[in-house]
Structure formats: C-alpha cells, structure tokens
Amino acid sequence: MLKIENLQASIEDKEILKGINLEVKPGEVHAIMGPNGSGKSTLASVLAGREEYEVTGGSVSYMGKDLLEFAPEERAREGIFLAFQYPVEIPGVSTTNFLKTAVNQVRESKGLKPLDAVSFLKEMKEKMKLVDIDQALLSRALNEGFSGGEKKRNEIFQMAMLEPKLSILDETDSGLDIDALKIVADGVNKLKSKDNATIVVTHYQRLLDYIVPDFVHVLYKGKIVKSGDKNLALELEEKGYDWIKDEEGVEA
C-alpha cells in the first residue's frame, strides 16, 4: 500500500528526515516511536502533504502512485487520513458543515453523487457512536473551545466519516487522560479492517497497549534505527530512549 524509500525532507533548509525506509501493507498497524525532535511528526506531515516541508530526496509510493505529486486534498481523497497532533480551531465553521463539505468533495472526486442531508445525518449518527461524541459538539465551530480529549475524539470521528485506507495518527495520545485514550483507541480499533492500514506516531508506549501494533519502528535523528514487533515498544518503555541514543552513539 505504502512504500517509502530513502525519504529526505527539510524545513527552512534544516534537514529533518535523513533517509526513511518503510513499507506498510493492508491490514497492518505500524507504530513509529522516538524521542522528541526525531522527525516523527515531520514524517506524518510530509505524508499528508504539508507544503512547508520540502522533500529533498527519496520517494513515496502509495497504491502504486507517486504520492509526492499529489496535493493534500488529493491525498485525502485517495484515502490518506492524518489525525492531527494539534487539531486547528476554525471559528464559524461547524464540524457538521465542514464534514459534509469534506465527505461530498471526496465523493465527487470518485464520481459519486453528494450525500443528501438525510443520508449524511444518518451516516453521522452511526459514526458518532464509535467515538462517543455528542451532537451538540458537532454543531459548534470546529474544535473551537474543545477540550484536548474532545479534539482528539473529533479527529477519530472525522476518520470514521471519511473511511480512509491509510490512517496516520500523529501523537493522538498526547494530552489525553486514560479514559479518553481508551475511547479514542477503541474507535480506531473498530475502524480497522484487513484492507486498511494504520501508522501510529507516538512518544509513549501506553497508546500501544490499546492499539496493538504489528511493527514498531524507532525513529532517531531522522532515520529509522530499529524495527521490531510490539515487544520493542515495551523494551523502549523500560529502558527509555537513552538506550537508543547510547546504542547509536556507539555505532557512530
């Protein structure tokens, strides 16, 4: 589904990603872990198409196409979903109105007719249950004045509505208490299928207790320095990132 080869990216001439290799197949869950500043969020942003980042080398192939050629909205329409670490507050635009626009633009790109108000509401009600989100929240301006937990739940709700093939969760656990974390993880798990894949970007292991990864990769200084199964996350939790830093230090 996704094949990243030797991906290099920089922002304002500062090199952040220094050659990432990663392959994700349908049905898989990959966790990307790493200390602060290692490039985790940059990787998520580059995959979603944030224009401030300049790709300076390497390639990303998604469903056999050159992903880097696509604008952010085209990526979304092709099934890539980024759950933001910091969902943006947009005054005056209700979540409902925003999502209706998004869902229908995605449908239009596939040659489908827009959902009418009734079908859209029905769809929304169904997906609201997944993340236990309140109707009242959705009529409010998008993310404006939402608590941290509400924002993250809203991200997963949007994910449920857009039914992506590849979801990238960028630090979705940050700022969540354990109850909110469970709700969010539960939502993600319910959306999992053999046809879609998930990349979980996280600093801490605790989210991975609930969203169990098939693969864990450790990102450090812009490169994946270690890969393994879910036990690697536990090992990291126990030994801390200094362990990786020390190992890397020795190798260097």
Partner 1 sequence: MAELTLTDQFTTIFEAKTGSKEGLSDFQKGSFEAFNTLGLPHRKSEAYKYTQIARILEKNFSEVSVPLETSWDIAEIKERFYPVNEANHLVFINGVWKSDLSEIKSDANHLQISVISESELDLLGKVSNSSRDPFAQLNGAQFSGGLFFKAARNSDNIPTFIYHFLDAENTSISFPRILIDAETGSQTRVYEKTFVNGDAAALVIGMLESKVESNASVRFTKLQQYPKNVYAVEGIYASQDKDSRFHTNTFTFGGAVIRNNVVIDIDGENCEGHMNGLYVISGNTQVDNNTAVDHKQPHSFSNELYKGVIDENARGVFNGKIYVRPEAQKTNAFQSNNNIILSDSATVNTKPQLEIWADDVKCSHGCTTGQLDEDAIFYLRARGISKVRAKALMLTAFAVETLEEVKEELVKDEIESIILNKLG
What residues make contact with partner 1 under the rule CB under 8 A?
48-51, 71-73, 75-77, 81-82, 84, 87-93, 97-99, 101-103, 105-106, 109, 141, 158, 162
Identify whether the C-beta of residue 205 lies closer than 8 Å to the C-beta of residue 212.
Answer: no
Least distance to partner 1 from the beta carbon of 105, Å? Answer: 5
| Residue number, 88 or 118, with CB nearest to partner 1 | 88
| Residue number, 162 or 188, with CB nearest to partner 1 | 162
Q: Which residues have a Cβ under 8 Å from the Cβ of 239 and sit 6 or more positions away?
A: none
Neighbours of 145 (CB within 10 A): 10
Neighbours of 216 (CB within 10 A): 25
Least distance to partner 1 from the beta carbon of 240, Å? Answer: 32
Q: Which residues have a Cβ under 8 Å from the Cβ of 169 and sit 6 or more positions away?
A: 83, 188, 198, 199, 200, 201, 202, 211
Least distance to partner 1 from the beta carbon of 40, Å? Answer: 17
| Residue number, 91 or 249, with CB nearest to partner 1 | 91
Residue 202 DSSP SS3: strand
Query: How far apart are the C-alpha atoms of 68 and 49, rounded to whole Å?
Result: 7
Least distance to partner 1 from the beta carbon of 75, Å? Answer: 8
